[in-house]
């Protein structure tokens, strides 16, 4: 299998990493639809690992600069990290994280399994105080749905000074734009369902740990095997195929997101735009420092919940749907999940359609 090369750019790694290398091998790992393998080889029983998961993990690991472990969903990957904590431990979470993880923590808290302590992670002083007694710092940058950018280097340094591991949900950034391990993250989490798969046709997740953390990687693999949170061969195949074009897709989405965000700022029906590519956005400078681009996710507010619903009912190209990171432009009024987002907030995953077509659709819907 092709190995990571430190010199190559993300776009090159995305195409090459995890490729078979033997004479006569296919250029890419095909799906191996098997649960059982002849004893004595690299694969054994599919819940412990397959050629398909190994190829996906090699590619994602190369992109993140660590060891990737594939999961059936992003939530399964999140649970594998949280389940590693001792009973009664406190997880310090950034106030804006994916609502599914927040709900999982609430469920664990209701059984005294773990405690969720939330902090405004843009306030480093507050984080410093709140880290006292925490067993894990859980952050998401850029965040869902406020596209808030957090200071990876400072947060990881604060946690490291207290020997507290840090999990970074990097789903919105993708490894094309951000590599949290380089800033000291312990775990990088992905919902591969989103940009990595990229075509709204699969569910998968991943946890990536540093190359030097072999023991941590083993623990994550062990929990995946014990919980049975293993991805199927077709999913791994499709996700790897998604990785091959991820850099191009992300670049296109991002270029359009920048144009759309700038136009939305000047739109009379829009009261606020959240996009780190805007110079006025509070996360702009941080994003410039720690990401190689601003990504394809933006959020904006209209006057009210009703107006947001009316706008989304009028779009013809932009699809009203909850997931994100696909080739299609998708949007939703985020507060329908009751997660405390501003009521008129529309979260918008910018697809790879022509930007003028997207704008025409959005502008007409906003009238």
The C-alpha atoms of residue 205 and residue 266 are separated, in whole angstroms, by 37
Nearer to ligand PLP, 141 or 209 (CB): 141
* Interaction residues for ligand PLP, span 309-348 (CB under 6 A): none
Closest residue to ligand PLP in the complex (CB): 74
Torsion angle, CA of 250/251/255/258, rounded to 10 degrees? 50
> In whole angstroms, how close is the CB of 40 to ligand PLP at the nearest point?
34
List of long-range contacts for 356-364, beta carbons under 8 Å, 24+ apart: 357/317, 358/256, 358/260, 358/317, 358/318, 358/329, 359/259, 359/260, 359/263, 361/315, 361/316, 361/317, 361/318, 361/329, 362/260, 362/264, 362/315, 362/318, 363/263, 363/267, 364/314
Identified catalytic residue from 98, 187, 195, 275 = 98
x-marked contacts with ligand PLP along 146-185 as a string, rule CB under 6 A: -----------------------x-x--------------
DSSP 8-state code for residue 264: H
Q: Which of 142, 165, 205, 231: binder of ligand PLP (CB under 6 A)?
A: 205
Among 52, 90, 122, 144, binds ligand PLP (CB under 6 A): 144
Count of residues interacting with ligand PLP (CB under 6 A): 13
Among 29, 122, 141, 193, binds ligand PLP (CB under 6 A): 193
Q: Token pair of 353, please?
A: 């359609």
338 vs 335: CA distance, rounded Å: 5
- CB-CB neighbours of 64 under 10 Å: 27
Residue 196 Cβ vs ligand PLP, minimum distance, rounded to whole Å: 10
Collapsed DSSP state (helix, strand, coil) of residue 171: coil
The catalytic position among 169, 187, 224, 334 is 169
Residue 270 token pair:
């829009």
Q: Would residue 98 show up in a list of annotated catalytic residues for this protein? A: yes
Q: Is 18 left (phi over 0), alpha (psi -120 to 50) or beta?
A: left
* Contact flags string 56-75 toward ligand PLP, x per CB under 6 A: -----------------xxx
Instruction: Find, among 354, 308, 352, the residue nearest to 331 by Cα.
Output: 308
Comparing CB distances to ligand PLP, the nearer of 98 and 300 is 98
Q: 273-290: b or e for each residue (b if 16 or more CB lie within 10 Å)?
A: bbbbbbeebebbebbeeb
Q: Which is nearer to ligand PLP, 19 or 232 (CB)?
A: 232
- Pick the binder of ligand PLP from 96, 148, 174, 191 (CB under 6 A): 191
- The single residue among 13, 55, 156, 203 that binds ligand PLP, judged by CB under 6 A, is 203
Nearest to 351 by CA among 333, 315, 332, 324: 324
Is residue 194 part of the annotated active site? The answer reads yes
Told to judge if 19 belongs to the known catalytic residues of this protein, a careful annotator would answer no
To ligand PLP, the closest distance from the beta carbon of 101 in angstroms equals 6
The residues in 83-102 that bind ligand PLP, with binding defined as CB under 6 A, are: 98, 100
Positions annotated as catalytic residues are 47, 98, 169, 194
Q: Which residues make up the interface to ligand PLP (CB under 6 A)? A: 73-75, 98, 100, 140, 144, 169, 171, 191, 193, 203, 205
């Amino acid at each position: 299998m092709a190995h990571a090369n430190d010199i190559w750019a993300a776009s090159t790694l995305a195409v090459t990493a995890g490729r078979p290398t033997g004479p006569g091998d296919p250029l890419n790992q095909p799906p191996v639809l098997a649960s059982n393998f002849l004893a004595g080889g690299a694969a054994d029983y599919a819940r412990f690992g397959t050629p398909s998961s190994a190829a996906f993990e090699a590619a994602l690991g190369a992109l993140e600069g660590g060891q990737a472990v594939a999961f059936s969903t992003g939530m399964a990957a999140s649970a594998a990290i949280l389940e590693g904590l001792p009973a009664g431990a406190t997880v310090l979470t950034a106030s804006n994280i994916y609502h599914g993880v927040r709900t999982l923590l609430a469920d664990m808290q209701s059984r005294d399994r773990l405690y969720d302590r939330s902090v405004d992670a843009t306030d480093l002083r507050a984080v410093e105080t709140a880290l006292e007694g925490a067993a894990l710092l859980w952050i998401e940058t850029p965040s869902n749905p406020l596209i808030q950018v957090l200071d990876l280097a400072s947060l990881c340094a604060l946690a490291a000074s207290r020997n507290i591991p840090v999990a970074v949900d990097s789903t919105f950034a993708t490894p094309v734009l951000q590599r949290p391990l380089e800033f000291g993250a312990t775990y990088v989490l992905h919902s591969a369902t989103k940009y990595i798969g990229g075509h709204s046709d699969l569910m998968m997740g991943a946890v990536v740990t540093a190359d030097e953390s072999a023991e941590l990687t083993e623990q994550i693999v062990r929990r995946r095997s014990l919980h049975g949170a293993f991805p199927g061969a077709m999913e791994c195949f499709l996700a790897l195929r998604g990785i091959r074009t991820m850099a191009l897709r992300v670049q296109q989405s991002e270029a359009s997101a920048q144009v759309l965000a700038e136009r939305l700022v000047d739109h009379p029906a829009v009261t606020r735009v959240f996009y780190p590519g805007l110079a006025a956005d509070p996360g702009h400078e941080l994003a410039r420092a720690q990401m190689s681009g601003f990504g394809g996710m933006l959020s904006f507010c209209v006057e009210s919940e009703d107006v947001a619903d009316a706008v989304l009912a009028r779009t013809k190209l932009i699809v009203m749907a909850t997931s994100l990171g696909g080739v299609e432009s998708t949007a939703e009024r985020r507060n329908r999940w009751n997660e405390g987002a501003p009521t008129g907030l529309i979260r918008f995953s910018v697809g790879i359609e022509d930007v003028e077509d997207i704008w025409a659709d959005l502008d007409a819907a906003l009238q």
